[in-house]
Amino acid sequence: MRFAQALLQQAPKDSNGLEDTWYKFGLVPACFSPQQLLELATSGLGEGLPAAGRDAKTGLSQHVADPRVEEIGQEGAGCVSLRITDENSKLPINALMPPNGDDNQQPDRTWRSIFEKFFESFKIDPEVVDALADWLDAGDNPRGTGGAEKSYYQSLPIPYAPPNGPMRTPGELRLVKGLNDVETLAKLFPGATPEAVADLDLGSNNYLTPFGAEQTPTGTPTGTPTGTPTANQGAKVNVNTASPEVLNALIAGVQTEGQTARSSAEGIVEEIIAKRQEKKLKNLNEVGQGVNLAALSRVADVKSTHFRIESVGVVGIVQKKIVVVLKRDAPQANRANLANQANQTTKLYFKVE
């Protein structure tokens, strides 16, 4: 975890993507000996490795690979696998509702459209958006036909109560009406069987996250008409790292906001992916033509602040796994310690398996 923090502290703050060292580590299914990690840390944390794809895998393997890794694990010395993924590459569930929102407040208009497009693309009933909004809001009146509040959850064979507040852990997805069956959840893990999904860590899915949309204080932003739903200012998807499925939902969702000359969302997404494979986007203006940039800027960005770290230690046949979600904090105002405080991280989630 400390090694991953060091990688994130080294990463740029203005834009993040396939060129970053932390991203390259996610491409390499390798198990490093402690000595290898130490050597890598003292040699610049992988600085100068190839950008992405096959070259990144080859370059990283040549940089630190030890052909005796399997022997190391069997002999008892142990090794560590490390994977860092971008939580800002996923759709932030908590962005659906404003802070402390109740039954009288509607889900954010832009995010609702994005989530509906996403669930439709996965052949999941888009009415699950109402159930998610009910899970997050402070009231107890179900929305529409797809919503669910305490009365529904208390009537289940094993009753429980919704939190009526922000989703705190990925595992809560299993509890929300419309997602509380393994057949539906399996759609979020392409290729996985329902039986396998029953034991999966839902935080490892590539599309939805409870992180990245920490609720901000209530109040109406300057220049915003009273009563108009606004996107949570902290909820942004990084177009440099988002999957094609997330990008499709994002682009299609913002296109519904009064855009006159609509382009194909699929075509725009293909253009974004082609551009970022060559070089990460430095700002949203580089997304291309046919996008409502004003609407997109409310829900998207080119940088990341939330990261999921999965580390597995292996000694012989024994394995132990740590999962951590870190938020990279903005630099503090105290200039005397600016060098030490820049890119500090806050631990939002910690689990040992």
Backbone angles phi, psi at 103, to 5 degrees: -65, -25
pLDDT cut 70: percent of the chain above it: 77
Three-point CA angle 161, 163, 164, nearest 5° = 110
Tokens 């969702």 found at: 253
At a CB cut-off of 8 Å and minimum separation 6, what does 104 contact? 139
Three-point CA angle 206, 65, 277, nearest 5° = 40
Higher pLDDT, residue 152 or 70 = 152
Residue 69 to residue 61: CA distance in whole angstroms? 12
> At 313, which amino acid appears?
G
Q: Please give the structure tokens belonging to residue 159.
A: 């009753």
Q: Report pLDDT for 341.
A: 44
Q: How many helices (H) and strands (E) does the chain have?
A: 14, 9
At a CB cut-off of 8 Å and minimum separation 6, what does 313 contact? 78, 79, 80, 319, 320, 321, 322
> At 302, which amino acid appears?
V
Tokens 């003292």 found at: 42
Residue 170: is its pLDDT beyond 90? Answer: yes
- The domain spans of the chain are 2-88+304-330
pTM of the model: 0.83
pLDDT tens digits along 315-332 = 888 999 999 999 988 765
